[in-house]
Amino acid sequence: MSTIQAAITAIQGYLPDYVLTNKELETIVDTTDEWITSRTGIKQRHILKGENQGTSVIGINAINGLLEKTGTKAEEIDMIICATTTPDLAFPATANIIANKVGAINSFGYDLNAACSGFLYALTTASQFIETGKYKKVIVVGADKMSSIIDYEDRTTCIIFGDGGGAVLLEPSTNGLGIQDAILHSDGSGEPHLHMKAGGSRKPASHETIDAKEHYVYQEGSSVFKFAVTNMAEVAADIMTKNNLTAKDVAYLVPHQANKRIIDATAKRMGIGDEKVMLNIERYGNTTSGTIPLCLWDYESKLKKGDNLILAAFGGGFTWGAVYLKWAYDLQ
């Protein structure tokens, strides 16, 4: 009996219409397009506007596109995992809200929060369900409405984040293509450097927490930068060594898009050139769980069956990791 692996067989992204440019940010906080571009690589980001528009909107649009482009019926979906740090509600899970809206009546699902590494954690988790042979169509959504937890008076965070995400369809593969390996790490001692102070069970929302602006991302940027640069590069190099891959074996690095300088350091450590690095940070900023599916979506037409991809991320927690996969299809 041949081994069952989980392969990505389709990808679809979604970005809300509104584009917040560096130029517009110059009118909101004390910053410049020059500073943002040189320190992060970001030029603009998309923002989900409107009443009652949560992260599920991104997931619903991405899945509807995925079903349409693959000719899959919503009833055929076995499971949906939604990686997000900005769920619509504390409960029920955003995955359930999405499943209901897309008509995935035979699916079950749940949310997974690993901050910026969320998509890699969810992909690795979902792949286990496929590998057992029991589930045939599993969807992983990576989506965040970061604008819902960003203080647009804080120039150190509001310039980085954006809204958006994507969905991938995972199906069984028996030809050696699909997910080959994953290395995931977490270290809770990173909490002081990157977190949201209130709104959870430890410190529920109150007038005081709102007045103290504690429902926003708190980030000690330069500390997080140091951990991110080291750990994302390290784990990407580790997964190559573990799988006997050299730079020439790798078709693309698919990095979390937090800061172009972190991406460059990771590529350098792997020994690969810029032409092998997926990059769209200039257009979308950091969409947290959304960055990696948005990269795969943007580069889908360039990917060839059998390409070796290294996905790598670092984020709040701290969490970080890398996934090695062999791309499973050519776009028709």
The catalytic site residues sit at 116, 256, 286
Cα–Cα distance for residue pair 128/324, rounded to 1 Å? 15
* Using rule CB under 6 A, residue 40 touches ligand UT7: yes
- Binding marks (x or -) toward ligand UT7, 13..32, rule CB under 6 A? ------------------x-
Q: Are 163 and 144 in contact (CB under 8 A)?
A: yes
Q: Considering only residues 222, 241, 301, 332, which one is a binding residue for ligand UT7 as defined by CB under 6 A?
A: 222
Rama region for 315: left / alpha / beta (φ>0; ψ in -120 to 50; rest): beta
* Using rule CB under 6 A, residue 103 touches ligand UT7: no
* Using rule CB under 6 A, residue 259 touches ligand UT7: yes
Task: Please state the length of the chain.
Answer: 332
Cα–Cα distance for residue pair 315/141, rounded to 1 Å? 17
**316, two tokens:** 């709040």
Stretch that binds ligand UT7, among 11-19, 59-67, 221-229, 303-311 (CB under 6 A): 221-229
* Using rule CB under 6 A, residue 225 touches ligand UT7: yes
Q: Are 299 and 307 in contact (CB under 8 A)?
A: no
Nearer to ligand UT7, 65 or 315 (CB): 315
Nearer to ligand UT7, 79 or 262 (CB): 262
The residues, any chain, with a CB within 8 Å of residue 214's CB and separated by 6 or more, are 196, 197, 198, 199, 203
Would you tell me the crossing angle of helices 33-40 and 260-270 to the nearest 10 degrees?
A: 20
- Binding marks (x or -) toward ligand UT7, 292..321, rule CB under 6 A? -----------------------x------
Q: How many CB atoms lie within 10 A of CB 190?
A: 21
* Using rule CB under 6 A, residue 149 touches ligand UT7: no
* Using rule CB under 6 A, residue 228 touches ligand UT7: yes
Q: Which residues bind ligand UT7 (CB under 6 A)?
A: 31, 35-36, 39-40, 116, 155-156, 159-160, 221-222, 224-225, 228, 258-259, 262, 286, 315
